[in-house]
């Protein structure tokens, strides 16, 4: 069985089709892995830490798919949430990469050590 970590870094504030497309395709990929019984996790980082607040809104186009994969969301970057003013309600803050001067970010090295393929959207 494969392991995959999907990192969402696109910025919902940009308001572009590209940003929305990246987020929705990341969620769709997670849905595909999950339904194929493959181990998958989602991490929001960078300006992507702003996505959960948007996707939790019932009228958002991505809300239904977000709810389908909500159980495989590992969390959001602690440092990026702070820098980008995100409000990751109900999600864990990830800080296992103790970058100096920050509250920590997700560790890509740890994901690789766990055998994860890393996809960035």
- Dump pLDDT digits (tens) for 27-82: 999 999 999 999 999 999 999 999 999 999 999 999 999 999 999 999 999 999 99
Q: Angle at Cα 62 formed by Cα 91 and Cα 23, nearest 5°?
A: 75
- Do 49 and 11 contact (CB within 8 A), yes or no? no
pTM of this structure: 0.95
Which domains are delineated in the chain?
Answer: 3-120 (3.40.1260.10)
Lookup: tokens for 66: 């977000």
Closest CA to 9 of 108, 103, 92, 102: 108
């Amino acid at each position: 069985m494969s392991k995959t970590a999907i990192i969402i870094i696109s910025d919902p504030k940009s308001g572009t089709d590209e940003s929305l497309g990246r987020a929705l395709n990341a969620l769709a990929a997670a849905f595909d892995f999950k339904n194929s019984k493959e181990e998958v996790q989602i991490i929001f980082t960078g300006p992507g830490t702003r996505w959960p607040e948007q996707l939790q809104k019932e009228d958002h186009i991505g809300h239904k798919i977000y709810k389908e994969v909500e159980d495989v969301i590992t969390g959001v970057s602690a440092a990026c949430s702070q820098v980008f003013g995100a409000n990751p309600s109900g999600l864990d803050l990830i800080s296992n990469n103790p970058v100096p001067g920050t509250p920590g970010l997700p560790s890509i090295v740890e994901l690789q050590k766990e055998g994860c393929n890393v996809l960035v959207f």
